[in-house]
Amino acid sequence: MTMTIQQAKEKHQAELMALPGVVSIGIGLSEEETVIIIGLDGKHPCTEKALPKELQGYKVVSQNVGTVKAQ
């Protein structure tokens, strides 16, 4: 049985959030493809290098989203 993108995100969320600079993990579109988006609070070359290119067959992309604050 194939894992949905939501299940893939949830399965790996804790390990990804533990990486330096990771502030969010979501699902969105990149080049008209549904992808897992890792939000970073700035430039983190080591973290960016450590991020997987895909999770459970779903493409992973990173974006600099800045600091995330609760409202």
Provide the pLDDT for residue 1.
Answer: 60
Distance, in Å, from the CA atom of 50 to the CA atom of 48, rounded to the nearest integer, reads 5
- Please report how many Cα atoms fall inside a 13 Å half-sphere around the Cα of residue 15, on the Cβ side: 9
Distance, in Å, from the CA atom of 40 to the CA atom of 20, rounded to the nearest integer, reads 9
Instruction: Please report which helix (H) or strand (E) contains residue 16, including its range.
Output: helix 5-17
Strand partners, 40: 22, 64
Give me the residue spans of the domains in the chain.
5-64
Q: What is the pLDDT along the chain (71 residues), one digit of tens a residue?
A: 689 999 999 999 999 999 999 999 999 998 899 999 999 999 999 999 999 999 999 999 999 988 877 77
Provide the pLDDT for residue 31.
Answer: 87
3-state DSSP assignment of residue 53: coil
